[in-house]
Structure 1
Amino acid sequence: MQKLEVFGAFKLKGQVRISGSKNASLPILAGSLLSNKKIVLKNLPKVKDIETMLSLLKSLGSKIKISDNQVTIDNSNQNKKFASYNLVKTMRAGILVLGPLLAKFGYAKVSLPGGCAIGTRPIDIHLKALSKLGVKFKIYNGYVIAKASKGLIGNTIKFPKLSVGATENLIIAACLAKGTTFLLNCAIEPEIKDLVNFLIKTGCKIKWVAKRKIKITGVSELKETNYSVMFDRIEAGTYLVAAAVTEGKIKIQNIKPDIINTELNILKKIGSKITIKKNEVQITGSKQIKSLKIKTAPYPGFPTDLQAQLMVLLCKANKNSIIQENIFENRFMHVAELNRMGAKILTRGNKAIIKGGINFAPAELMATDLRASVSLILAALTAKGKSVINRIYHLDRGYENIESKLRKVGAKIRRLN
């Protein structure tokens, strides 16, 4: 099993080019199933979750051609409706093929999803919403078996709570439904906006009629499309924190700074110096890090996917800080490993109380999920000496070339088999 060896502590300096967004690419790949015409996607990140989704599309009958900087998808003979456990077990986003398969064929059998063990993340919101479009379903042997014998029929659906996955699944499904669908109380993450922009380019009729309300008029077929996926805002945030925590100076390139306004304002508040240009941000870390009380929240709030990374930074603050995790109920699994490195973090329910003024000590560590993995790297970058991070397969699900990107800005990090 592979592991990472990290030698700290060095100030990171240089430039990092941010990859395409994993969390935008996955629903866009699922949405490509709606079309029988050629689709060319650019700026997909080279990460494990994307490989898994492409394998899932191939298993459903998509023809996929991968060249250096683009993926071409041909669904002209795509006719399978079964998404197996083997392909969905490692990746939550596998459930997103349910909507397009139902829209296209009126039938789908899709395994219940896997992914990081950070909370229950039930799919009941997806299923109840799809049932309002005329879907009948049962869960049997770990699979969702869903039918819409008369095809999908437009309706007005209000989500009981904000759900990124359910919003994406229903947007995709409603594109081929008969009539008009209104989706209310939608999640508005930038990745959802990117999915909508992609679908509009294929000929789908989608309109934001209010901040969290979408109108979708069903169409019968889509057209050929070329589309470039947005940047990965979580990867961008991770490298911003890497600069801040090592008192370094990094230019983050290939981004749209206004999308990560919340994160930039928080980093300014705790003492980092930030210069914003059109498609890049320069950050200079400060010796004096200010403490913070923060809650994770749906966009445009502070993202749960950056909570573990920010926690590492707050261990260096001048006073105690508090993070309240409001999205997932099991997302403090990195705390035990950070405490082994000398952190003093106490968890009470969904709150973490973080003692400031900590100098991390090197240690042998175990990654528990995707974002926890990268938080351990950030802590190791500040610890004098050698740290070893085990179980890094989580990391490869969401970060493209993380070692080489970090090495380019001065980190001493290598992968061991």
Structure 2
Amino acid sequence: MDILRIHGGTPLNGETHVYGAKNAALPILAATVMVSGTSVIEDVPDLEDVRVMMQILERLGARVRWSAPGTIEVDASTINKTDVPAELMQRMRSSIFLMGPMLARFGEVTLSKPGGCVIGQRPIDYHLHGMRQLGAKIDEQHGYIRCTTRRLVGTSITLDFPSVGATENLMMAAALADGVTVIENAAREPEVADLAQFLLATGATIDGAGEDTVVVRGCSNLHGSAYRIVPDRIVTGTLLLAAAATHGEITLHGAQSGHLGAILQKLRDTGVRVDVDRDIITVKCEQHPRAVDFRTAPFPGFPTDLQAPFMALLTTANGTGVIHESVFEARFKHVDELKRMGADIAVDLRTAVVRGVQSLSGARVVASDLRAGAALLVAGLMADGVTEVEGVHHIDRGYQSIERHLQTLGARIERVSNQVPV
């Protein structure tokens, strides 16, 4: 197991490009199951989760390959299995995205309960309830889910919560269903709209993706297409926060500021300078930021995936900031590790009170999940001395070669083989 060793205290400076979004790539790769012909997906990040999804597709019988850096080709015409490998599902929660596409194309699929980061309850009940409304029969036994249908039929579905995963799964299933499906209280995240754009490119008929109500008119066939996925807004936000935390100045190319309204506004509220010019975002911070309060919420609210790295920024802010985590109840696991570095944070259930200190100190810390790892990276970059981050495999699930990306901006960070401290 590797660790990331960070010599903190160096401001990030320079320019870099934002790569495609993991949270857009995974459902789009799952959607290729429904396509007759070859799908070419461009600007895909080379991440552990992406490689797991590719392995799943291959085990199902699809032909999958990297045709160029950042480009994946999928020919799903050769799929000959409907049992998704349990050991691979346990490695990645997003494998649940295969439920809708497999059910729509083959009329059956068997899955196990998905794995992934342990950040609180993330039930798949919304997925299952929606599939039943579309006409699927679902049998759950011993951790396995067996879904079958003679034919999916369009209907009206109202989600109790605007779940991104459920919205995407139902949208994919409905694309090949008979008739019209209306999804109310749908998730509005950019990745939902991006999946819809891919499906539209293959011949699907979808209206309203990215809004509260999505209307899908089912069709009999989807054709192959080339598609470039949307830039990763979470990677963008993490880099912006790292630059602000280190009192640096960076420019990101290929970003989409419209997907980052809440985070950009909060950064401005802290006193950080944020300039936007089409797909270019520049941040500059010359002094300690001001403390701010925020509450995570579904898009267009403050993204829960950036709560942890923003907390790291607030650890040395002037004043006291209050963070309320309204999406996941177990997403403060990074707090104890930040406190090891000298942060002053108190947690009461889903609320964290962050009192700014003069500086953090390097320490050996452990990433418990993907976004906690991002917080520890930001903290290590801003801290005095050396920080060693364990649990790097979590970070690798969402950030492509993060140490090389940060090195191009002047960070003193390296990946080394983990050694038990003496």
Give TM-score scaled by structure 2 length.
0.97
After superposition, where does 1:262-411 map in structure 2 within 5 Å?
A: 262-411=262-411
Q: Write the deviation string for residues 219-269 of structure 1: whole angstroms up to 9, x where unpaired.
A: 111112010000000000000001100000000111121221221111111
Whole-Å separation in 2 of the counterparts to 1:396 and 1:75: 27
What's the CA shift for 1:16?
2.0
Name the aligned partner's letter for residue 289 of structure 1.
Answer: P
1:244 aligns with 2:256: no
**Cα contact 1:90–1:115 (8 A) shared by 2:** yes
What's the CA shift for 1:211?
3.0
Name the aligned partner's letter for residue 34 of structure 1.
Answer: M
Whole-Å separation in 2 of the counterparts to 1:211 and 1:335: 34
RMSD value, Cα: 1.1
Whole-Å separation in 1 of the counterparts to 2:101 and 2:358: 49
- Report the counterpart of residue 176 of structure 1 in structure 2: 176
Compared CA separation, residues 209 and 263, structure 1 to 2 (3 A): closer
**Cα contact 1:319–1:355 (8 A) shared by 2:** yes
Whole-Å separation in 1 of the counterparts to 2:207 and 2:258: 22
Name the aligned partner's letter for residue 382 of structure 1.
Answer: M
Name the aligned partner's letter for residue 352 of structure 1.
Answer: A
Name the aligned partner's letter for residue 337 of structure 1.
Answer: E
Whole-Å separation in 2 of the counterparts to 1:72 and 1:19: 18
The unaligned stretches of length 5 or more in structure 1 are none
What's the CA shift for 1:210?
9.1
Name the aligned partner's letter for residue 262 of structure 1.
Answer: A
After superposition, where does 1:39-54 map in structure 2 within 5 Å?
A: 39-54=39-54
1:108 aligns with 2:145: no
**Cα contact 2:189–2:210 (8 A) shared by 1:** no
Q: Write the deviation string for residues 256-290 of structure 1: whole angstroms up to 9, x where unpaired.
A: 21221221111111011111111111100131311
**Cα contact 1:343–1:358 (8 A) shared by 2:** no
1:185 aligns with 2:185: yes
- Report the counterpart of residue 121 of structure 1 in structure 2: 122
Whole-Å separation in 2 of the counterparts to 1:211 and 1:402: 32
Whole-Å separation in 1 of the counterparts to 2:292 and 2:121: 28
Q: Is the partner of 1:83 in helix, strand or coil?
A: coil
What's the CA shift for 1:391?
1.4
Whole-Å separation in 2 of the counterparts to 1:317 and 1:160: 37
Q: Percent identity of the aligned residues?
A: 38
Whole-Å separation in 2 of the counterparts to 1:137 and 1:79: 21
- Report the counterpart of residue 420 of structure 2 in structure 1: none
The unaligned stretches of length 5 or more in structure 2 are 418-422
Whole-Å separation in 2 of the counterparts to 1:336 and 1:181: 45
Whole-Å separation in 1 of the counterparts to 2:130 and 2:143: 20
**Cα contact 2:158–2:183 (8 A) shared by 1:** yes
After superposition, where does 1:201-280 map in structure 2 within 5 Å?
A: 201-208=201-208, 211-280=211-280
Name the aligned partner's letter for residue 38 of structure 1.
Answer: T
Whole-Å separation in 1 of the counterparts to 2:253 and 2:144: 42
- Report the counterpart of residue 72 of structure 1 in structure 2: 73
Compared CA separation, residues 193 and 210, structure 1 to 2 (3 A): closer
Whole-Å separation in 2 of the counterparts to 1:14 and 1:126: 43
Tell me which moved more, 116-125 or 133-142. Answer: 133-142
- Report the counterpart of residue 159 of structure 1 in structure 2: 159
Name the aligned partner's letter for residue 105 of structure 1.
Answer: F
Whole-Å separation in 2 of the counterparts to 1:209 and 1:143: 31
Whole-Å separation in 1 of the counterparts to 2:16 and 2:358: 27
1:36 aligns with 2:36: yes
Name the aligned partner's letter for residue 66 of structure 1.
Answer: W
Name the aligned partner's letter for residue 132 of structure 2.
Answer: S
What's the CA shift for 1:118?
0.2
- Report the counterpart of residue 86 of structure 1 in structure 2: 87
Name the aligned partner's letter for residue 126 of structure 1.
Answer: H
1:141 aligns with 2:142: yes
Whole-Å separation in 2 of the counterparts to 1:372 and 1:253: 25
Whole-Å separation in 2 of the counterparts to 1:358 and 1:62: 54
Q: Write the deviation string for residues 357-391 of structure 1: whole angstroms up to 9, x where unpaired.
A: 34101101111000111111111111121111111
**Cα contact 1:5–1:415 (8 A) shared by 2:** yes
Whole-Å separation in 2 of the counterparts to 1:164 and 1:356: 34
Q: Is the partner of 2:305 in helix, strand or coil?
A: helix
Whole-Å separation in 1 of the counterparts to 2:285 and 2:414: 24
Whole-Å separation in 2 of the counterparts to 1:140 and 1:411: 49
Whole-Å separation in 2 of the counterparts to 1:210 and 1:229: 15
Whole-Å separation in 1 of the counterparts to 2:190 and 2:353: 30
- Report the counterpart of residue 2 of structure 2 in structure 1: 2
Q: Write the deviation string for residues 149-196 of structure 1: whole angstroms up to 9, x where unpaired.
A: x21011111111110110000000000101111111100100000000
Whole-Å separation in 2 of the counterparts to 1:357 and 1:268: 20
What's the CA shift for 1:78?
1.3
Whole-Å separation in 1 of the counterparts to 2:191 and 2:177: 22
Whole-Å separation in 2 of the counterparts to 1:156 and 1:110: 25
Q: Is the partner of 2:182 in helix, strand or coil?
A: strand
The runs of at least 4 aligned residues of structure 1 exceeding 4 Å deviation read: none
State the number of aligned residues: 416
Q: Is the partner of 2:223 in helix, strand or coil?
A: coil
Q: Is the partner of 1:76 in helix, strand or coil?
A: helix
**Cα contact 2:7–2:386 (8 A) shared by 1:** yes
